[in-house]
Structures are given as structure tokens and as C-alpha cells.
Structure 1
Amino acid sequence: MSDLWNSDPGRAQDLQPLTRLIANMGDEFFSSSLLECLEHWVQSQHFSMIRLDRPHPTLLMAGTRHHDADLVWRCWQAYHHYDYQNHDPLLLRMHEDHLRVNQLQVGHMLAEDIDFLPYRKAIYHDNGMNARLSALSLDAQGTPVLFNLYRHAESGFFRDQEVEAFEGLAPALLQLVKGHMAIRGEASQSEHNAAAMLRQRCPDLTDKELEVCLLMLKGMTYAGIAAERGVKESTVKTLRNRAFSKLGINYRNQLFAMMSH
């Protein structure tokens, strides 16, 4: 791992991981890019971002590089189902500081700091995790939002330098994650609108024909669509031809023009 603390933080190459992460905002691979970016400063295999709604929290975003891809989701389901946020010593300690909008609290917790044994066992011990770094902020509505990084026992504990690096990175990371979610939200709404327009114009479009049209509107090539959906390129072109016939068009640019009307 390349260490920020072993180099001049002002050097351009030390900012390259963040630059790459910015380039991936709005992309479906942003979660894995975030963990790869953090590897430059902090070793972590999982992250989560949780809005602490009442009475139950909401998972805004999560990602993992662990070989057990479902681990982070199992942990979230247990955390949510049993309301473990009410037994989270780091979160409770952060809350005591009466956080205000535009402020940020950063904390570090070991699994052994958790006195409530069901929580410690279900989230940490049963999954081989031993530590967490967290950044707590308030959203525009004043609801607390918690960003977490987790460490596995085989990787040891977070070093002091990693904790310090996280403290410095947390404000920028939170802004990038929030920006990514905003872009994805806009993209999702745009896709929903496009799907509604195409359905209105041609109710007979099948789900697969509609999907190909929506992916084309994203700018994807036929080969790219085929690779993403695990089908032959010829299958994609057949679906395109059927969709275009039903829509009364012949070319891709006509599909784009249809969205502007």
C-alpha cells in the first residue's frame, strides 16, 4: 500500500486516487472505486453509509471487496433488524457532541469496545471484523448520516496513521459519495422518464426491447450491451430491430430525437 504519510501530501501523484474516484462519480462501479481509492491511505474491505432515520436507520450505500460479497448486506440486515444503532458506543459518543450542520465528527472503535454482546457477536465476531472508522455528519434536513470503514482481523487493526489519514479525507469522501448518489438519483429519474415515454409511444415493447433502448440512450454500444447482459451481440441487434420497428424508427439518432419531444 502506498502511504500518504510517507510522502508529501501536496504532491500531485498523492491526489491521483481521488481524481480517479471523481471520474467514476455516477458510475455503477463507484463503490469498488472508492475502496480502491482508500487503499492508498487506509486498508479496508467494506464501507457503508447509513442515514440514522427514526425509528429505523436507512442504508444509503455500501460496498465490499471481500470474497464473501454478501457479508456487508448480512451485517446491515442484522444492524437494521435489531436496532443495533442504539447499542453503538462510537455513535452514542459522537451524538454527545451535539453535531451541527456542516460539522463532521470522526471516530475509531474496536469490536471489544462494544458492551452489548449480541451486537458485537452478530456484526463483528461472526464476520471476522475487529475495528471500524466512522465519520458522522448531518444532512440538509438535520438527520445524522454515518460513513463507516471496517477492518478484518487478518489485516490487523487500523494504524494511527490510517486513522489520521481518514480524519483528513473524510470531508472530501463524504462530498464525493453524496455527489455520486445525487448523480445516480438524477440518472435513475431520467431513465424512468425515458422508459415511460417509450412505453407511452409503444405499449407493445417487451421488457428486453425496452431495456436495449434505454441502454442505447445511455450511449452504450451493441457489444457493450451484450457484454453487460451476458448475451450475443446479434441478440442485442435483433431486440433493437424489433423495438425500432414497433417505434416506427430506423436509426439510433431517431431514438435520441424521440426523447427531446
Structure 2
Amino acid sequence: MKPTEQRQKISADESRGNLAAVIEGIGTERFGTALAEFLRPLSGVDHCTVFQLGGDAIDVVALSSCDPRHPMTLMVEHFVNEEIWRKDPVFSKARTLLATTSRLIRLDVNDMNDRAYLKLRTLIYPQAGDGIVVCGRRDSADFCLSVVRDNPNQPFGPEATKQLSAVADTLISAIAKHVSVLAHRPNVKFALTDLSEIEKCLIARSDLRRREVEVCARIIVGLSAAGISLDLGVGEETVKTYRKRAYSRLNIGCERELLHWYVSQWSTWRGYLNAPQHSISHEPQRATKSGRSRPSH
């Protein structure tokens, strides 16, 4: 019995267990691996990639390969960043077929002889023997699950295709849920490293003056008083004065308290928590033409 056929001989209990792992992996880094581990014995998949289709772009949701040495990640980066997907006939077909019911599209790599597909064939599918794309729409969002077999293995047979078709709707729903969970999860790293994001939050959630906002934002990203002085083009003692005034307005006494205050306020500001605003002085704020308020300078 060939290796591909052996992988397809799994029990119903094992299949259900692997699917349970996919559900449990929703919203975590394990999702892509769990998806591949479910698909591998089910239909002999070597690589899988999940894409979300936008109006004029695609995003990689998850990817996994049975061989960690395989340059799959690099290939997918080429596919997305160099916009090779625009020449992929499968993605063009997916956009026309997407509807509530998930569908399977057969990818015949050997038919890619058109010169327009040359880059696609040589960069993305040099080792691919066969592929299927499962596509579906959930809550106005379009998703594609691309599964590929390498050349040494046989093409997807009727049984493998039937197995994929049977779980297509479930997988698309799991993928959509995974994306939704990630979208509503706080990105704390971004909140603590993006200066613009920090300043916007400080303006929205406090009565700090402009320079106090700028100083506090740079303290949060980790700059010292000397570093802030150089960045803002003011003296170091001036920085310390703004810092002292800001701490007084926020009723805090040190950088650690500033960090805790900011994380709490950012989470509330972005809608992740329903905590009340920190106790601070409330001086009048001046409204801009857009209707947003900002602190007086």
C-alpha cells in the first residue's frame, strides 16, 4: 500500500479527535498545525494555507506543512507580497463561485502552461503534484483553504475529494471563527510599541497637555529622559518637568504605575474592557473640527 493510501486509512474516532483539536486551536497559534494534522490523514494533504480574500488583496490566516524544512513560508510570502495570486486562475475562479455554501475547486498544476502563469508555476508550484482549494463565505468575509500534495504522491483521488467536500463547510466556519477571535484580541505588543497609537490613547483618555502626552508616550515605549530629550529637541530638565506634571495629573508616581494605567486605559479605549476611566483631573477639552476632543496645549 502506498504512503498516501495508508494516510487515508484512519478511524472515525481519530478523525473526530483531530477535528476537536482544530476547534480547540481557534484563536491560537496552534490553529494552522491542528488544521494540517486533521487534513493529513483525512485526505493525504502535504501542505495547507488559509487565505482571507479582501476587495483587492489577500491575507494569510494560517499555514502548515508536513515537512518543516519545506520552503512553504517563503513561497507563500512570494505569492502574496509579489501579488502572484492575481495571476492564479484558482483565485479568480474562487471569487466568482463564493457563496454561503462552501465549494471545492480543483487545481490542475499541469495545465498551467500559459506564459502568464510561468512565474506562478516556477515559484509557487515547482514541487506540487495536485491541489484543491476549499472556498466559502461567512459574514460577508471570503476564505480559501488551499491544500496541496507534492509530486511524489498520487493526485487526490475520489475518496480524498469526497472527504474534503464533507468537511468543507465545517472548516470554513472554523476558519471564520478563528479570524474573528484574533480580530477581537488585544494586540498588546502594538499598544506598547507604536508611538502614534500610544499618543492617540493618551489624548483620548486623559487631560494631558501636548508635551506631557509626547513625554509619557516615549516613557511607555522605553526611552530614557535623555533619549526623550534628543527625540523632542528639548532639554533633559524640561522633559523631567513635563513628566512630573503628567504624573500629577494622572495621580501616579512612577513609570511602572504609568504603564499599568496606560494598558488599562488602552484596553478600555479599544473596547476590550468596560473599566471606568482612571481617576484624573478633568479640565475642559477643546473640540476639533472633526468633533474629536483633544487636550489644550
Q: TM-score, normalised by structure 1?
A: 0.63
Within the alignment, does 1:131 sit opposite 2:169 as a pair? no
**Superposition deviation, residue 67 in structure 1:** 3.0
Is 1:111–1:129's contact at 8 Å kept on the other side of the alignment? Answer: yes
User: 1:53 & 1:69 partners in 2: Cα distance?
Assistant: 27
Is there any run of 5+ residues in structure 1 with no aligned partner, and where? 209-243
Cα deviations across residues 146-175 of structure 1 (Å, max 9, x unaligned)?
221111113332233221111111111111
2:186 partner SS? helix
| 1: CA distance, partners of 2:22 / 2:103 | 23
The whole-number CA distance in structure 1 between the counterparts of 2:166 and 2:187 is: 34
Alpha carbons of 1:175 and 1:28: their partners in 2 closer, same or farther (altered >3 Å)? Answer: same
- The code of the aligned residue for 1:138 comes to R
Q: Give the AA of the match of 1:185.
A: A
How far apart in 2 are the matches of 1:44 and 1:176?
18
- Do 1:51 and 1:146's aligned partners in 2 also have CA atoms closer than 8 Å? yes
2:82 corresponds to which residue?
81
- Following the alignment from structure 2 to structure 1, what is the Cα–Cα distance between the partners of residues 221 and 92? 51
> What whole-Å deviation, never above 9, does each CA across 1:26-57 have from its counterpart, x for those lacking one?
11222112111222312323222334445x43
Q: Call closer, same or farther: CA 1:72–1:154 in 2, change over 3 Å.
A: farther
Q: Once the 2 structures are TM-superposed, how far is the Cα of residue 83 of structure 1 from its aligned partner?
A: 4.4
Q: Deviations over 1:210-258 (max 9, x none)?
A: xxxxxxxxxxxxxxxxxxxxxxxxxxxxxxxxxx962349xx9x99988
Shift in Å, 1:25: 1.1
> 1 CA distance for matches of 2:8 and 2:166?
11
Within-5 A mapping of 1:218-229: none
Provide the secondary structure at the position in 1 that maps to 2:152.
helix
CA distance in 2, matches of 1:193, 1:31: 25
* Contact persistence 1:132–1:151 (CA under 8 A): yes
RMSD of aligned residue pairs (Cα, Å): 3.8
Distance 1:95 1:245, change over 3 A: closer
Residue in structure 2 matched with residue 174 of structure 1 by the alignment: 172
Identity of aligned residues (%): 11
Look up the match of 1:107: 105
Secondary structure of 2:220's partner?
A: coil
C-alpha distance in 2 between matches for 1:47 and 1:27: 17
Per-residue displacement from partner, 1:36-81 (whole Å, max 9, x unpaired)? 1222312323222334445x43123131223346433424524663
Asked which structure has the greater CA Rg, the reply is 2
Give the partner amino acid of 1:17: N
Per-residue CA deviations over 1:108-151 (Å, capped at 9, x if unaligned) read 223113232503233212xx11211111223433x653221111
Question: What corresponds to 2:233 in structure 1?
Answer: none
Question: SS at 1:41's partner residue?
Answer: helix
Find the counterpart in structure 1 of residue 49 from structure 2: 48
Native 8 Å contact 2:101 2:169 kept in 1: no
**Residue 220 of structure 2, aligned match among 172, 196, 205:** 205
Q: Return the letter of the residue paired with 1:48.
A: T
How has the CA–CA distance of structure 1 residues 85 and 248 changed in structure 2, closer, same or farther, with 3 Å as cutoff? closer
Aligned with 1:157 (options 139, 149, 155): 155
- The one-letter code of the counterpart of 1:134 is V
Equivalent pairs counted in the alignment come to: 212
Query: Whole-Å Cα distance in 2 between the matches of residues 163 and 182 of structure 1?
Result: 28
* Alignment of 1:27 onto 2:28: yes
- Output the CA distance in 1 between the equivalents of 2:176 and 2:52: 12
Query: For 1:28, what is the secondary structure of its paired residue?
Result: coil
The answer for unaligned runs of 5 or more in structure 2 is: 207-215, 224-252, 268-274, 277-297
Amino acid at match of 2:40: E
Q: For residue 122 of structure 1, what is the aligned residue in structure 2?
A: 123
The answer to whether the Cα contact below 8 Å between 2:143 and 2:172 also exists between their aligned partners in 1 is: no
Distance 2:256 2:137 in 1: 47
Q: For 1:45 and 1:163, how far apart are their aligned partners in 2?
A: 14
Aligned equivalents of 1:3, 1:70: Cα separation in 2: 23
